[in-house]
């Protein structure tokens, strides 16, 4: 009976389901990439985020995680001028180059999802568990941009989604099955044929291990 109990405890530790819900904040890739700050761009860089996956700790003080992560939706809208008419250093339109009817409205949105594969050294003190983790982040991003041209036509430019590999690092503080988890994702999108908006994303979640 004692052997069976020990085997059961080891199996629980080696393989548990985990899930988390919280918020994400993304950072754009800089001025003049889907936004022009000097022309009153509006960005939506905060969103809900969630994750679900499996975790285990076959070795004391070293856990592993395989999590599917949804980093939420981001969006940006801007009235834009041609690149030659915009100064990225001053974030202003070059003097004398802007005419009111020559701005072109841009509006885009996108979504990033992926799988985080991390190792987490951890330590428990008086029932409170402290952990730090890191590893690769395999992700896929969408980005769809609509452009209202001067001649009245509407254009569409889309990033063709492809699998990319970035990285994720994070830290957590937990008690029993609950934890507060912070993660930083390097999830910049390559040009294919155009890039997405985001260069990196941070999440803060409340997680639970079942």
pLDDT of residue 79: 85
In a domain, 192, yes or no: no
Furthest C-alpha separation in the chain: 85
In a domain, 59, yes or no: yes
Provide the pairing of β-strand 62-80 with 42-44.
antiparallel
In a domain, 86, yes or no: yes
pLDDT tens digits, residue range 115-162?
999 999 999 999 999 999 999 999 999 999 999 887 788 999 999 999
**Would you tell me how many other CB atoms lie within 10 Å of the CB of residue 188?**
17
8 A C-beta contact, residue 103 and residue 81: yes
In a domain, 181, yes or no: yes
pLDDT tens digits, residue range 13-28?
578 999 999 999 999 9
Task: Give the CATH number of the domain where residue 27 resides.
Answer: 2.40.160
pLDDT of residue 127: 96
pLDDT of residue 105: 87
pLDDT of residue 96: 63
In a domain, 37, yes or no: yes
In a domain, 12, yes or no: no
CA-to-CA dists, residue 112 to 99, 192, 197, angstroms = 36, 15, 11
Domain holding 24, by residue range, is 18-186+197-209
Query: Hey, which residues does 54 pair with through a beta bridge?
Result: 17, 66
Domains in the chain, number: 1
In a domain, 171, yes or no: yes
φ and ψ at residue 12, rounded to 5 degrees: -60, -45
Rounded Cα distance, 54 and 169, in Å: 17
CB-neighbour burial class of residue 131 (10 A; exposed 0-12, middle 13-18, buried 19+): buried
In a domain, 6, yes or no: no
Provide the pairing of β-strand 198-209 with 16-28.
antiparallel
Q: Is the pLDDT confidence value at 109 over 60?
A: yes
pLDDT tens digits, residue range 53-63?
999 999 999 99
Confidence class for position 200, pLDDT limits 50, 70, 90: very high
């Amino acid at each position: 009976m004692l052997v069976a109990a020990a085997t059961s405890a080891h199996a629980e530790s080696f393989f548990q389901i985990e899930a988390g819900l919280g918020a994400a904040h993304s950072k754009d890739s800089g001025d003049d990439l889907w936004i022009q700050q000097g022309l009153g761009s509006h960005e939506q860089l905060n969103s809900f985020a969630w994750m679900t996956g499996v975790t285990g700790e076959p070795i004391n003080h070293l856990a592993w995680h395989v999590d599917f992560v949804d980093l939420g939706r981001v969006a940006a809208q801007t009235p834009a001028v041609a690149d030659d008419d915009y100064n990225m250093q001053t974030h202003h339109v070059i003097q004398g180059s802007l005419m009111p009817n020559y701005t072109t409205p841009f509006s885009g949105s996108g979504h990033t999802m992926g799988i985080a594969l991390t190792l987490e050294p951890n330590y428990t003190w008086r029932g409170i568990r402290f952990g730090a983790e890191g590893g690769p982040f395999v992700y896929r991003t969408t980005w769809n941009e609509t452009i209202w041209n001067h001649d009245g036509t509407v254009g569409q430019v889309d990033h063709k989604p492809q699998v990319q590999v970035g990285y994720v690092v994070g830290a957590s503080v937990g008690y029993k099955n609950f934890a507060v988890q912070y993660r930083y994702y390097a999830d910049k999108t390559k040009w294919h044929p155009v890039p997405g908006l985001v260069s990196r994303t941070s999440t803060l979640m409340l997680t639970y291990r079942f």
